Amino acid sequence: MARAVTSRRKSLNTALAWAVGLLIFFPILWTILTSFKTEAQAIASPPLFLNFDWTLENYAIVQERSDYMRFLWNSVIIAGGSTILGVIIAVPAAWAMAFVPSKRTKDILLWMLSTKMLPAVGVLYPIYLLFIRLGLLDTRGGLVVVLMLINLPIIVWMLYTYFREIPGEILEAARMDGATLKEEILYVLTPMAVPGIASTVLLNFILAWNEAFWTLNLTAVDAAPLTAFIASYSSPEGLFFAKLSAASTMAIAPILILGWFSQKQLVRGLTFGAVK
Amino acid sequence: MYLKHALRAATALTFVATAAAHAQSITIATVNNGDMIRMQGYTDKFTEATGIDVEWVTLEENVLRQRVTTDITTKGGTFDIMTIGMYETPIWGANGWLVPLDGLSEEYDVGDILPAMAGGLSHDGTLFAAPFYGESSMIMYRTDLMEMAGMEMPDAPTWQFIKEAAAAMTDRDAEINGICLRGKAGWGEGGAFITAMSNSFGARWFDEEWKPQFDQPEWADTLNFYVEMMNESGPAGYATNGFNENLSLFQQGKCGMWIDATVAASFVTNPDDSTVADHVGFALAPDTGLGKRSNWLWAWALAIPAGTQQEDAAKQFIEWATSKDYIELVAESEGWANVPPGARTSLYENPEYQKVPFAKMTLDSILSADPNSPTVKPVPYVGIQFAAIPEFAGIATQVSQEFSAVYAGQQSVDEALAKAQAFTAEEMEAAGY
Amino acid sequence: MATQHSRSVARLMMAPAVVLLLGWMLVPLTMTLYFSFKKYLPLRGGDLGWVGFDNYVRFVSSSSFWPAVQATLVIVGGVLVITVVLGILLAMLLDQPMWGQGVVRILVIAPFFVMPTVSALVWKNMFMDPVNGLLAHLWRFFGAEPISWLSEASMTSIIMIVSWQWLPFATLILLTAIQSLDSEQLEAAEMDGAPVLKRFYHIVLPHLSRAITIVILIQTIFLLSIFAEIFVTTGGAFGTRTLTYLIFQRVLESQNVGLGSAGGVYAIILANIVAIFLMRIVGKNLDA
């Protein structure tokens, strides 16, 4: 009896959850489908769902117009570089906050978050002038540093919440055994922190990948990432839904695939220690 | 400090690497319009001929403007050539930010550039940008629908005729709107259209004392006429339609008439993109009998920012891209209808080009536009759909946002004009007029 | 003894992050403050001298200022309410036993991976376009007059787009929190015959309070500075001009760096008011 009820409930849940999931995913699905249509089919009325002649011509046109791989590569370097650099700087800070907390730890943490509230447009001129002075315009190095600084507060905070979950007793036991600070970090802490670091890396990679103000305004050719790639498709002339869809699909596909394969880590990453 | 040095070193290394790989390379910022994209396809020919590599930064119009303006005002030196318009060129030229385009070669024949275009791209008689293509605006209409409505389009119609024709062509059940016009906020979008239209109604932005004129009846007449006509015969949601949206609508056969840039003529008559290619007629932009028509004048032009290391290479490129030879190159492989129009006199004297159906109307429209005397009453500014002062873009964008709110039914014409008047007065005073 | 030592080590370890962020905060802030007291018009020759508090007065007394503050708060508030409420419902649904939970979860988080520019473009052109948009087709299918989303319902449209982007984030955090809820406690309450609403109100909601705070805090930080979604869709028209967008217009469209910088200072002040307010709550909740 009870089993039958559960089973029926499970079916209901499944149906409802799938319906909601597909609804939320639909705009992305629609974009992907449209990218395989011709321009005329893309605006057909009534809309065509699957019954159209699948074509790759939009992708060919987009690729011919702009060298996708170069933008992709810049995105990977900038998002990856800023994340790695950020983690290297954040790990010691988060470690210190978690294991040697002082009265001011929380204040420092919250102050760090507040630096994220500086409106980017308001400081475009200062930063642009600074970049010219330092010769960093249109360099990946410059963007890596800027995006690292933008995301550093989030990285520190996430790592802090993970480190705090590591029981202090283990560290004390290690210390009793005469482990030095270096050994403590290397052999005791790091293995326990790897999952947390992994999810932090993932989340920040996504945030850096999607950042569209600085990556657009501080680059031209050499360092231009996918956000600049998409900026040249936002309103071409004439019928453009299909080409826009193809460019959009190309811009989001890498991160979408990465996200899907690593969603377990990401789910952990998004908890911010909120579970405890 | 260390970080700074490390970054500098890294940058220097990349620079050396690129410099070694290519003998010479120029970076061009450009807009993602069809003619520009086509030009990118031919860049290889330029590189073959000169050995100069070309890097393109192609951006949508609004992003491009934001990007190049930041770079030129801070002397960032990111670009060797910038694609700019008739609004920016005289202002930037006056500031000494652009390299004067003198000493161009004999065969380039600078005198061949249409005088209206050369005039709008100069400051104090010095040319600062070379027009890649130029445009005015005109009426594009569906000959079949006009016939069905039992009317005939004169070569130079009045607004009253347009309004009547629009109402007659409208067939809501068949999704046909009698008229499609820009309503989208932005000084270069709906702002440009309504300003050009207001000229034919006798309105002006400023009087000779630089006092804003939105409190004058001519502006109310313009807006009321526009709103009434669009509500009667325009497409749904016209308040967010710009050039591209209207082009799509027209190509899909959903517009009876469309008053917009002359360059659109080649897109609506191109059977690959347009479902109505065989049924398009052209006429001059309408007037109200006051002596000024409602057509504008614009050019997308190539300019060299002062301080670039690649001045010679940049000049070479501009000579190539805006030359007669380039026009012939495009004509050979894409047909005469697809060459960049509106820049050179010789193009309109070419018998081959005269066969193109919209060639004559485009030239007539361009010739009838006079940026130095754009309005019925006298004004202190130059420019038809804009006033060539640095403050204009910011002010006009906000004013056109108020107008778009009228089109969307969110406020009345009087409310919008009162706000526009107050805001413009505020900004002009702040700027010290 | 060891504490003294480890404290100084700890300080050393925090130093790089703190110094870098301090620099990142101070350098632009100082420059913004400097510009804000100047008449700085790049198109009119750049630096035209000191003007005291002129820019500050002008920015606030402009007719666009208060509507912009209001628009900012409406968008932030609207998105927060939608994402938190829908996030809780969605999290509770996803927590139930079902087939293909992993796949559904992937579908739900996908919007988070989409660049703001792309999502704004896709929504604007392919869904909200009053002629060719999918929503217009849907409306017509049901015999209704299609809505011009971005002009007639501009705020709603922007809140919709931004909520779609941030709903996955809220859902995931809340889902992890719900999963840690003691199911025995819930079952016991169910046995006792407590109605669903009561169970939710007395057991689930208190358990989620901390997660909700975190969602609100992180999202507010990002939402206060949304830009691409407005730039691409309405360009600030139809009452969607937020404070961030107003500053953009002053700095880049009007080319008035002094005035824009003064606006930037106001935005920082507003952000900090919101931040202090938030941190009061979060600070309390984080200790718990």
Domain with C208 in it: what CATH number?
Answer: 1.10.3720.10
Choose the mutation target among B2, B28, B73, B74 for the interface with A, i.e. most A CBs under 10 Å: B74
Instruction: For residue C94, give its domain range.
Output: 65-240
Is C111 a domain residue?
yes
Residue spans per domain, chain A: 68-269
Report the neighbours of B using a cutoff of 3 or more CB pairs below 8 angstroms: A, C
Is C7 a domain residue?
no
Please report which confidence band the pLDDT of residue A238 belongs to, taking 50, 70 and 90 as the band edges: low
Q: Which residues, 6+ apart, have CB-to-CB distance to C1 below 8 Å?
A: none
Rounded Cα distance, B387 and B219, in Å: 16
Mean pLDDT of B8-26: 55
Of B106, B26, B112, nearest in space to B302 by CA: B26
Higher pLDDT, B4 or A52: A52
Report the neighbours of C using a cutoff of 3 or more CB pairs below 8 angstroms: A, B
Rounded Cα distance, B358 and B266, in Å: 8
Task: Locate all alpha helices (DSSP H) within chain A, ordered by sequence.
Answer: 2-34, 39-42, 57-65, 68-99, 105-114, 124-134, 140-165, 168-176, 181-183, 190-210, 214-217, 226-231, 241-261, 263-269
Predicted local distance difference test score (pLDDT) of residue A85 = 96
pTM recorded for the entire structure: 0.88
Q: Where are the beta strands (DSSP E) in chain C?
A: 38-41, 46-50
Please report which confidence band the pLDDT of residue B53 belongs to, taking 50, 70 and 90 as the band edges: very high
> B117-131, B396-410, C10-24 — which is least confidently predicted?
C10-24
Residues B6 and B36 in one domain: yes
Name residues 225-264 of chain B within 8 A of C (Cβ): 235-237, 239-240, 245, 248-249, 252, 254
3-state helix, strand, coil in chain C (%, to 5): 80, 5, 20
Q: Does an H or E element contain B132, and which?
A: strand B130-142
Domain ends where: B325, B354, B383?
A: B354
Evaluate whether C199 touches C244 at the Cβ level (below 8 Å).
no
Whether residue B16 is predicted with pLDDT greater than 50 in this model: the reply is: no
The answer to whether the CB atoms of A139 and B76 lie below 8 A apart is: no
Which chain B residue's Cα is nearest to C249?
B394
Q: Which residues, 6+ apart, have CB-to-CB distance to C224 below 8 Å?
A: A117, A119, C72, C76, C244, C267, C270, C271, C274
Evaluate whether B115 touches B351 at the Cβ level (below 8 Å).
no
Is C33 a domain residue?
no
Instruction: State percent of chain B over pLDDT 70.
Output: 95
Q: Which DSSP symbol is given to C127?
A: I
Predicted local distance difference test score (pLDDT) of residue A261 = 81
Rounded Cα distance, B72 and B66, in Å: 10
For chain B, state the CA radius of gyration: 22
CA dihedral B355, B357, B360, B366 (to 10 degrees): -130
Residues B108 and B255 in one domain: no
Evaluate whether A137 touches C42 at the Cβ level (below 8 Å).
no
Please report which confidence band the pLDDT of residue A275 belongs to, taking 50, 70 and 90 as the band edges: very low
Higher pLDDT, A67 or B129: B129
Mean pLDDT of B160-173: 95
Report the neighbours of A using a cutoff of 3 or more CB pairs below 8 angstroms: B, C
Please report which confidence band the pLDDT of residue A100 belongs to, taking 50, 70 and 90 as the band edges: confident
Token pair recorded at residue A73: 């590569």
Is C122 a domain residue?
yes
Is C49 a domain residue?
no
pLDDT in 10s for each residue of chain C, 288 residues: 346 777 788 888 888 888 998 888 888 888 889 999 998 888 887 788 899 899 999 899 888 899 999 999 999 999 999 999 999 999 999 888 888 888 898 899 899 989 998 999 899 988 998 888 899 999 988 988 888 888 889 999 999 999 999 999 899 888 888 887 777 777 777 777 778 788 888 888 888 888 888 888 889 888 988 888 998 888 888 989 999 999 998 888 888 889 999 998 998 888 878 877 777 766 666 553
- In the block, residue with structure tokens 């005109």: B138
What's B92's domain CATH number? 3.40.190.10
The whole-chain average pLDDT of chain C stands at: 86
Rounded Cα distance, C215 and C209, in Å: 10
Rounded Cα distance, B272 and B261, in Å: 20
Predicted local distance difference test score (pLDDT) of residue B23 = 65
Is B152 a domain residue?
yes
Rounded Cα distance, C96 and C88, in Å: 13
Distance from CA of B390 to the nearest CA of C (A): 6
Distance from CA of C257 to the nearest CA of A (A): 8
Name residues 178-207 of chain A within 8 A of C (Cβ): 181, 206
φ/ψ of residue B29, rounded to 5: -95, 130
Rounded Cα distance, C187 and C194, in Å: 10
Please report which confidence band the pLDDT of residue A33 belongs to, taking 50, 70 and 90 as the band edges: very high
Whether residue B275 is predicted with pLDDT greater than 80 in this model: the reply is: yes
Domain ends where: B310, B336, B354?
A: B354
Token pair recorded at residue B151: 């009317």
Where does residue A187 rank: exposed (0-12), middle (13-18), buried (19+ CB within 10 A)?
exposed
Q: Regarding beta strands B255-261 and B177-180, do their DSSP bridges make them parallel or antiparallel, or are they unpaired?
A: parallel
**Interval A153-170: pLDDT, tens:** 989 988 888 888 777 777
Of A83, A70, A68, nearest in space to A251 by CA: A68
Q: Which residues, 6+ apart, have CB-to-CB distance to B227 below 8 Å?
A: B406, B407, B413
Rounded Cα distance, A76 and A167, in Å: 35
**Residue B373 CB coordination number (10 Å):** 11
Evaluate whether B145 touches B256 at the Cβ level (below 8 Å).
yes
Mean pLDDT of B6-31: 62
Evaluate whether B75 touches B307 at the Cβ level (below 8 Å).
yes
* B300 interfaces chain A, CB cutoff of 8 Å: no
Residues B28 and B160 in one domain: no
Distance from CA of C213 to the nearest CA of B (A): 36
The whole-chain average pLDDT of chain B stands at: 91
Instruction: For residue B148, give its domain range.
Output: 136-296+364-431
Predicted local distance difference test score (pLDDT) of residue B21 = 46
Predicted local distance difference test score (pLDDT) of residue C45 = 77
Evaluate whether B128 touches B121 at the Cβ level (below 8 Å).
yes
For chain A, state the CA radius of gyration: 24
First to last CA, chain C: 30
* Residue B35, CA atoms < 13 Å, CB-side half-sphere: 28
Identify which of A142, A234, A238 has the shortest CB distance to residue B248. A238
In chain B, the number of structural domains is 2
Whether residue A110 is predicted with pLDDT greater than 60 in this model: the reply is: yes
Q: Which residues, 6+ apart, have CB-to-CB distance to C229 below 8 Å?
A: C116, C119, C120, C158, C161, C162, C165
Is C215 a domain residue?
yes
Please report which confidence band the pLDDT of residue B144 belongs to, taking 50, 70 and 90 as the band edges: very high
Distance from CA of C148 to the nearest CA of B (A): 5
Rounded Cα distance, B176 and B174, in Å: 5
Of A108, B157, A239, B418, nearest in space to C25 by CA: A108
3-state helix, strand, coil in chain B (%, to 5): 50, 15, 35
**Interval B312-352: pLDDT, tens:** 999 999 999 999 999 999 999 999 999 999 999 999 999 99
Predicted local distance difference test score (pLDDT) of residue C283 = 63
The answer to whether the CB atoms of A17 and C104 lie below 8 A apart is: yes
**Interval B98-121: pLDDT, tens:** 999 988 888 999 999 999 999 999
Is B93 a domain residue?
yes
Predicted local distance difference test score (pLDDT) of residue C93 = 92
Q: Which DSSP symbol is given to B228?
A: H
Is B359 a domain residue?
no
DSSP collapsed to 3 states, B269-310:
CCCCCCCCHHHEEEEECCECCCCCECCCEEEEEEECECCCCC
**Interval A128-157: pLDDT, tens:** 989 999 999 999 999 999 999 999 998 998
Identify which of A122, A126, A210 has the shortest CB distance to residue C267. A122
Q: How many CB pairs under 8 A join A and B?
A: 104
**Interval A35-87: pLDDT, tens:** 999 888 887 777 888 888 899 999 998 888 888 999 999 999 999 999 999 99
Whether residue A265 is predicted with pLDDT greater than 60 in this model: the reply is: yes
Instruction: State percent of chain B over pLDDT 90.
Output: 74
Enter the CATH code of domain A68-269: 1.10.3720.10
Domain ends where: B354, B375, B396?
A: B354
Choose the mutation target among B240, B421, B423 for the interface with C, i.e. most C CBs under 10 Å: B240
Whether residue B20 is predicted with pLDDT greater than 90 in this model: the reply is: no
In chain C, the number of structural domains is 1
Evaluate whether C104 touches A16 at the Cβ level (below 8 Å).
no
3-state secondary structure of B148: helix
Of C136, C128, C131, C133, nearest in space to C153 by CA: C128
